[in-house]
């Protein structure tokens, strides 16, 4: 079973929910926690542990200027503007390259071959006996988040229970994270910004055909707007976490609410039960 | 020689466009004689990678100098490699005004 945790608005508490859910469930069974927020992963703050790190690479074209006839076919083929063929040389912009391999096929002179270029890393660790933590990390300055997310998720294939912590927003990295998941938890806060971005995130999950449930975090008890939205869209609020200084203090120390206040494990186990029902379409 | 000015419209009276890669029009003026040609930029609504492509349009038209407000890093690299001189104009005037300033040598080469 694969559960994605996304939000729309940033800073609502995805990582807090992901970390506490993973901690709680790992007490009873094997859990894999994947940090898919590869531009700025932060689950490692809650689960520090020595990790095995591997590189993530993408193939990029290398053009042999000696063999190149400057015919321009590779540049014409490239949809991303990554190759510019001038009369006497070829310019290549690696940050625009999407590694499709088309330029290599288009070249009539065998002047292009591919070499791997590093774009980031994936770290795997075991912070708790039944918790496997995979963290994708995109290299600073590199725009290709999606392949790093893919590499991280690949290491979780076949694992019985996988929790994917997503980046905020609704663009490609989020879609890549949600893709293939059995259900999605959207963490929101009861502010106008939270609701605005929640609408967008619900739309994405819906288009991807992923059953979705809501967690309201930092609730001040005045959640009417969010609750009305959920009613109108037949979305269940699966858990409400109050706006509480004590919880904030635990979080900001990098500690786990479910570890410091074990009664919260009941809440997160309840959240998991509702996710299972969501996956089975019992909503 | 041919000089390209980024423009919002298709005539010499059109207001200049500050951006290069997504400029609606490229006005190519022949400095000897003043004749001109207006090219609609096919990459004006492009998502990404438009700089190098727009630069290639200029190369294909044998442009020797570009007058624009801001030229991005990738476009700049291609233009420089192709030997096309870049001049900055952001006074907000018309294409004709920009060309006049170029002809009088009052534009800064960047």
Same domain as A183, residue A213: yes
Chain B residues with CB within 8 Å of chain A CB = 48-53, 55-56, 59, 74, 77-78, 81-82
Same domain as A177, residue A78: no
Distance from CA of A85 to the nearest CA of B (A): 9
- Residue A6, strand partner residues: A186
Locate A81 and state its tokens: 């503007």
A75 contact B CB<8A: yes
What structural domains and CATH numbers belong to chain B?
A: 2-109 (3.30.420.130)
Instruction: Describe the crossing of helices A264-279 and A14-26 by its angle, rounded to 10 degrees.
Output: 90
Residue A17 is part of which domain span? 2-56+122-279
Same domain as A71, residue A192: no
Same domain as A155, residue A50: yes
Contacts 24+ apart (CB under 8 A), A191-196: A192/A225, A193/A9, A194/A8, A194/A9, A194/A12, A194/A226, A195/A225, A195/A226, A195/A229, A196/A8, A196/A9
Q: Which residues 215-274 of A have a C-beta within 8 angstroms of B?
A: none
- Predicted confidence pLDDT, tens digits, chain B (110 residues): 999 999 999 999 999 999 999 999 999 999 998 899 999 999 999 888 899 999 999 999 999 999 999 999 999 999 999 999 999 999 999 999 999 999 999 999 98
Same domain as A251, residue A162: yes
Distance from CA of B66 to the nearest CA of A (A): 17
At residue A21, the pLDDT reads: 98
Q: Which residues 103-142 of A have a C-beta within 8 angstroms of B?
A: none
| Residue A242 falls inside a structural domain | yes
At residue B47, the pLDDT reads: 84
Same domain as A218, residue A136: yes
> What secondary structure does DSSP assign to B41-95, as a single string?
-TTTT-SS-HHHHHHHHHHHTTEEEEEESB--HHHHHHHHHTT-EEEE--S--BH
Same domain as A183, residue A86: no
Query: What are the per-10-residue average pLDDT scores of chain A (283 residues)?
Result: 97 97 98 98 97 97 95 92 92 92 96 96 98 98 94 98 97 97 96 96 97 97 96 97 97 97 98 95 66
pTM over 0.95: no
Domain count, chain A: 2
CA atoms within 13 A on the CB side of A21: 29
Q: In what order do the strands lie in the sheet with A237-242?
A: A52-63, A112-128, A131-138, A31-35, A162-165, A2-6, A183-189, A212-219, A237-242
CB contact under 8 A, A96 and B49: yes
């Amino acid at each position: 079973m694969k559960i994605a945790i996304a939000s729309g608005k940033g800073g609502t508490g995805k990582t807090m929910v992901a970390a506490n859910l993973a901690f709680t469930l790992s007490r009873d069974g094997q859990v894999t926690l994947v940090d898919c927020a590869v531009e700025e992963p932060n689950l490692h703050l809650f689960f520090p542990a020595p990790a095995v790190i591997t590189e993530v690479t993408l193939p990029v074209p290398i053009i042999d200027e000696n063999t190149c006839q400057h015919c321009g076919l590779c540049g014409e083929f490239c949809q991303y503007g990554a190759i510019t063929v001038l009369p006497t040389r070829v310019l290549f912009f690696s940050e625009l390259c999407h590694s499709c391999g088309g330029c290599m096929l288009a070249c009539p002179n065998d002047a292009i071959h591919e070499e791997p270029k590093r774009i980031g890393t994936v770290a795997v660790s075991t912070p708790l006996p039944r918790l496997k933590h995979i963290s994708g990390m995109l290299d600073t300055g590199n725009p290709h988040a999606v392949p790093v997310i893919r590499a991280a998720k690949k290491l979780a294939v076949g694992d019985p229970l996988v929790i994917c912590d997503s980046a905020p927003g609704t663009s490609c990295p989020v879609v890549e994270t949600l893709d293939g998941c059995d259900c999605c938890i959207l963490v929101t806060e009861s502010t106008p910004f939270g609701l605005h971005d929640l609408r967008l995130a619900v739309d994405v999950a819906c288009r991807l055909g992923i059953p979705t449930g809501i967690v309201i975090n930092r609730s001040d008890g005045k959640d009417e707007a969010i609750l009305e939205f959920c009613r109108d869209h037949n979305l269940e609020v699966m858990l409400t976490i109050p706006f509480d200084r004590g919880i904030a203090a635990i979080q900001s120390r990098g500690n786990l609410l479910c570890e410091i206040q074990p009664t919260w494990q009941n809440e997160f186990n309840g959240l998991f039960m509702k996710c299972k029902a969501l996956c089975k379409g019992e909503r | 020689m041919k000089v390209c000015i980024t423009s919002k419209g298709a005539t010499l009276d059109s207001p200049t466009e500050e951006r290069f890669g997504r400029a609606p029009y490229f006005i190519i003026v022949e400095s000897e004689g003043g004749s001109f040609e207006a090219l609609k930029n096919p990459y004006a609504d492009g998502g990404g990678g438009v700089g190098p492509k727009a630069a290639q349009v200029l190369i294909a038209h044998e442009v020797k100098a570009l007058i624009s407000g801001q030229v991005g890093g990738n476009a700049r690299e291609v233009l420089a490699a192709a030997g096309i001189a870049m001049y900055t104009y952001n006074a907000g005037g018309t294409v004709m005004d920009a060309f006049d300033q170029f002809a009088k040598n009052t534009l800064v080469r960047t």
